[in-house]
Structure 1
Amino acid sequence: MPELIKSFAWDAFVLFFYAQVVGLDGLLLGLALAIILVFDAVADPYIGALSDRMDRAPLGRRHTLMAAAVVPFAVGIAMVFRVPGGLEQWQIFAWLLGFGLLARVGISFWTVPAYAMGGELTRESGERNIVAVMRNLGNQLAILTVPWAAFAWFFVPGGGFSKPQLNPAPYPDFGLFIAGAGAALMVVGLIGTRARMRTVEQLDRSIASEAPETLLQLFRRLVAAIRITPNVGRLLLVALLVLFTNSVVNQLTLHLATYFWQLDGSWTPRLLIAGVLGSMVAMFLAPAWMKLVGTRAAMISGLAVFFVVQAGAVLLPLFGLSPPPATAAIGAFVFAFRVLGGLAYGLYVVPFNTVTYDIGDEHEANTGKPQQGLVASFMFIGLQVGSGLVALFAGSFLGIIDFPVGLPVDQMPQDKVRALAWFFTGLILVAGTAMAWLVGRFDVSAEKQARIRANLARLRAIDAQPEEVKPAPAP
């Protein structure tokens, strides 16, 4: 839940805030966001590998790093939205880069161990589906509050701005709200899972303490993991494309809502929560859908519908096949498309989370060591790189087309707005086609996972035996 609150606030507001409110040059903005997210991606496997090795840490291998993440994240995300006035372009760049790194890398010390922990709380397939559903339902409930609170408490009409999100005054308090909400949920998550994980870590095989790995060693582990367990490589690429697509939608929604669809103050927050509403419904439907069509088919069908409706919400207005902009009808039109897209995405993401846990088990069976932390970190490499690429592309594109800053909505050149809409659609279609093809190549049959779980149960039974009665290793 904390990760989703951060991600929603970051994706929905940071690009728009720095581009259209602060006025940071698009190329510098894209560069800063890309550096932040790629650095975060590089740190994730180190965090995952470190967490896998911290059996003797004061709060255990997962909770020690999770507890250390709370303060850096809260300080970083609050300061991202509190840019001092009078700064030069490179000073704004440095401000975003420094506090953005603190926020993003800080919360990774929470997210990577927390995600790995989800695969350790239970090994049973049905319970893992429930964990995946509850994780995603909690995420959706958490981020549902962000746009509602943003436009109910902070971005309200007034101040001489035609769209409240163009007003710089509310952003510092909004940043404090995100910091407080995220930190509070991190503390709740720590307390709520501590007892169960203490039991799990006492029963599970421990990993001998080793010196921290260098980045080169971690890269070699990634290459080795992909060679040993090819599904790890597929997971990495799918994760990259998933967040690439989501970031296209999330990071450019405020631009499209403000200048393309020209939504009023009531429809903009509804649009931001539309996908969440659809995803919440999907959380209850996904287990039955997976059982009916299988894990891989559930993922592919969800992705196909998601990409079609996300592209359609922009393509149909471009061709004049939707209600006109700046009307209640266009708000309802886009809202309906986003709800359907959220439903489709939810039908994809639940089986994807289950597959992530299963691949962690597969890699553990192949290597003989607990690997949920490492596999989770590899997944987050894809997530961070995907988001970083979108930030780089979107910021650079705004700079290349010289998208104006500070103009009233009715004075914004329509050729610039339509160029941005076509840019959005092109990214969606390219990423969607690649992801649907890649998901179809996952080797995640129920029979294979049953064999893996049986093998892991046998290994754990051997590890539980006293040293003197354990079978001798094969010569």
Structure 2
Amino acid sequence: MPELIKSFAWDAFVLFFYAQVVGLDGYRIGLAVAVILVFDAIVDPYIGALSDRMDRAPLGRRHTLMAAAILPFVIGIMMVFRPPAGMEGWATFAWLLGFGLLARVGISFWTVPAYAMGGELTRDAGLRNIVAVMRNMGNQLAVLTVPWIAFSYFFVATPDFAKPQLNPAHYPGFGLFVALLGGTLMLVGWFGTRPHMRRVEAADRSITRDSQIETLPALFRRLFAAIRTTPNIGRLLLVGMLVLFTTSVVNQLSLHLATYFWQLDPGSTQRLLIAGVTGSIVAMFLAPYWIRLVGTRTAMVSGLIVYFVVQVAAILLPLLGLAPPPATVAIGIFVFVFRMLGGLAYGLYVVPFNTVTYDIGDEHEANTGQPQQGLVASFMFIGLQVGSGLVALMAGSFLGIIDFPAGVPVDAVPTAKVDALAWFVVTLIVVAGGAMAWLVGTFDVSAEKQAAIRAKLAEMRGSGG
């Protein structure tokens, strides 16, 4: 939950806030966010490997790092949304870079071990589907609160700001809300999972390496060796990158499109931001049945294809004049329906994908004889961070290239610049989406293979390694 709250608040608001409200140029925004996310991607595998090896830590190999993450995240995300008044240029860049690093890297110390823990709570395939559904249901419910509260209590229209997301006064309170909500959920998750994980870690201790810290070069040599040993890990990294690349295109530029392309009112903007989450919540109930009906790989591919089609259609049809005009009630309904369908499709993809991630962790453990859920989770998050960083760099740079105006009324922004931004989004979704749908289809995750892996793990654990 905390990771999704952070990701939603970051993707939906940071680029828009710094570009259109603070007035920082797109090149520097893209550079700052890209540096943050690439650095985070470098740190993530180190966190995962460290978490796998920390059996002697006082709070356990997962929960020690999770506890250390809470305060840095709370401070970092709160301060990202409150740069001092009058700050400009490189000083603003440094503010975003510094506190962004604190927030993003800080929460990685929570997310990587927490995600790895999901694969250790149970080895049963059916129960893992339930864990994946519960994880994603909790994520979606938590994320649902962010845009709902944002546009109900913080981003409220005033006579001076008909589009309240352009009002700088609203952002500090919003940042504090995100920080407190995320921090509270981190504490709840920590205390809720600690008793069970103490038993799991005690049982695994005989096949876990002694706690030690590797150098980064040694760690990355181990990561590349892991790809050679278990090729599915390499596929997981690439899929993670393409997944967040595509979703980040949608999320990071949603407020730009809502404000300037569709020209939605505050209520429609709020519904736009919760539409995908609403669809994903519905999908959580349908996903286990869909997986049993068509299989894991087909469930992932079909969900992705529908997701890409509806996300592109929500932008392409208005561009072609085949949708209601902007700034109307009808366009708000149109966009909401397409985004909700996209969320439904994405949910039908993400549940089997989470299950596959756990299964790949088991596969690598069977290949190496060591618990590897933390390492495998870190691979996925490398891809996620790199994908999001590429979008931030490209989106910020594109806003700079087309000299997208900041600090001017919506109707003063040239239509050609707005349309150029819309075509940019469509192009990125089509290219990344096609590549990801093909790549997911190459996963080797048959039920027979996973049954053999679980049998081997049971034998290893029964013999103590």
Q: Map of 1:227-246 to 2, 5 A cutoff?
A: 227-246=228-247
Deviations 1:377-423 (A, max 9, x none): 01000000000000000000000100000110111100000000000
In 1, are the aligned partners of 2:76 and 2:100 still within 8 Å (CA)? yes
Q: Map of 1:222-301 to 2, 5 A cutoff?
A: 222-301=223-302
Alignment-mate amino acid for residue 51 of structure 1: S
Q: Alignment RMSD, CA only?
A: 0.7
In 2, are the aligned partners of 1:4 and 1:139 still within 8 Å (CA)? yes
Structure 1: give runs of 5+ residues left out of the alignment.
Answer: 465-475
SS at match of 1:231: helix
Show the counterpart of 1:434.
435
Show the counterpart of 1:443.
444
**For residues 87 and 136 of structure 1, what CA distance do their matches in structure 2 show?**
39
**For residues 345 and 205 of structure 2, what CA distance do their matches in structure 1 show?**
38
In 2, are the aligned partners of 1:83 and 1:92 still within 8 Å (CA)? yes
Residue 209 of structure 1: CA displacement? 2.4
In 1, are the aligned partners of 2:51 and 2:62 still within 8 Å (CA)? yes
In 1, are the aligned partners of 2:56 and 2:211 still within 8 Å (CA)? no
Alignment-mate amino acid for residue 209 of structure 2: A
**For residues 406 and 162 of structure 2, what CA distance do their matches in structure 1 show?**
14
Show the counterpart of 2:179.
179
In 1, are the aligned partners of 2:55 and 2:211 still within 8 Å (CA)? no
SS at match of 1:334: helix
**For residues 354 and 78 of structure 1, what CA distance do their matches in structure 2 show?**
33
Greater shift after overlay, 159-168 or 188-197?
159-168
In 1, are the aligned partners of 2:261 and 2:419 still within 8 Å (CA)? yes
Show the counterpart of 1:101.
101
**For residues 371 and 326 of structure 2, what CA distance do their matches in structure 1 show?**
53
SS at match of 1:377: helix
Show the counterpart of 1:318.
319
In 2, are the aligned partners of 1:2 and 1:185 still within 8 Å (CA)? yes
Show the counterpart of 2:353.
352
In 2, are the aligned partners of 1:112 and 1:376 still within 8 Å (CA)? yes
Verify: 1:157 aligned to 2:157, yes or no: yes
Residue 88 of structure 1: CA displacement? 2.4
**For residues 59 and 210 of structure 1, what CA distance do their matches in structure 2 show?**
13
Show the counterpart of 1:137.
137
**For residues 280 and 29 of structure 2, what CA distance do their matches in structure 1 show?**
31
**For residues 397 and 384 of structure 2, what CA distance do their matches in structure 1 show?**
20
Show the counterpart of 2:148.
148
Show the counterpart of 1:84.
84
Show the counterpart of 1:471.
none
**For residues 350 and 159 of structure 1, what CA distance do their matches in structure 2 show?**
44
**For residues 400 and 208 of structure 1, what CA distance do their matches in structure 2 show?**
51
TM-score by length of 1: 0.97
SS at match of 2:225: helix
Show the counterpart of 1:49.
49
Alignment-mate amino acid for residue 287 of structure 2: A
Structure 2: give runs of 5+ residues left out of the alignment.
Answer: none
Deviations 1:420-474 (A, max 9, x none): 000000000000100011011000000000000000000001107xxxxxxxxxx
Deviations 1:192-240 (A, max 9, x none): 0011001101111342324311221121111101100000000000000
Verify: 1:39 aligned to 2:39, yes or no: yes
Show the counterpart of 2:75.
75
**For residues 318 and 259 of structure 1, what CA distance do their matches in structure 2 show?**
13
**For residues 159 and 214 of structure 1, what CA distance do their matches in structure 2 show?**
57
Deviations 1:168-212 (A, max 9, x none): 001001000000000000000001001100110111134232431
In 1, are the aligned partners of 2:209 and 2:370 still within 8 Å (CA)? no
**For residues 53 and 158 of structure 1, what CA distance do their matches in structure 2 show?**
54
In 2, are the aligned partners of 1:302 and 1:344 still within 8 Å (CA)? yes
Deviations 1:105-149 (A, max 9, x none): 000000000000000000000000000000000000000000010
**For residues 122 and 312 of structure 1, what CA distance do their matches in structure 2 show?**
40
**For residues 392 and 223 of structure 2, what CA distance do their matches in structure 1 show?**
25
**For residues 214 and 387 of structure 1, what CA distance do their matches in structure 2 show?**
26
Alignment-mate amino acid for residue 346 of structure 2: Y
Deviations 1:93-114 (A, max 9, x none): 0000000000000000000000
In 2, are the aligned partners of 1:205 and 1:460 still within 8 Å (CA)? no
In 2, are the aligned partners of 1:271 and 1:334 still within 8 Å (CA)? yes
**For residues 88 and 319 of structure 1, what CA distance do their matches in structure 2 show?**
39
Runs (4+) off by over 2 Å:
205-211
Alignment-mate amino acid for residue 105 of structure 2: V
**For residues 246 and 70 of structure 2, what CA distance do their matches in structure 1 show?**
28
SS at match of 2:286: helix
Show the counterpart of 2:29.
29
SS at match of 2:212: coil
Show the counterpart of 1:116.
116
Q: Map of 1:400-439 to 2, 5 A cutoff?
A: 400-439=401-440
**For residues 185 and 460 of structure 1, what CA distance do their matches in structure 2 show?**
33
Residue 159 of structure 1: CA displacement? 5.4
Alignment-mate amino acid for residue 120 of structure 2: E
SS at match of 2:157: coil
In 2, are the aligned partners of 1:162 and 1:408 still within 8 Å (CA)? no
Alignment-mate amino acid for residue 462 of structure 1: S
**For residues 175 and 88 of structure 2, what CA distance do their matches in structure 1 show?**
22
In 2, are the aligned partners of 1:278 and 1:346 still within 8 Å (CA)? yes
Aligned pair count? 464
**For residues 464 and 412 of structure 2, what CA distance do their matches in structure 1 show?**
70
SS at match of 2:205: coil
Alignment-mate amino acid for residue 31 of structure 1: L
In 1, are the aligned partners of 2:361 and 2:372 still within 8 Å (CA)? yes
Alignment-mate amino acid for residue 215 of structure 1: L
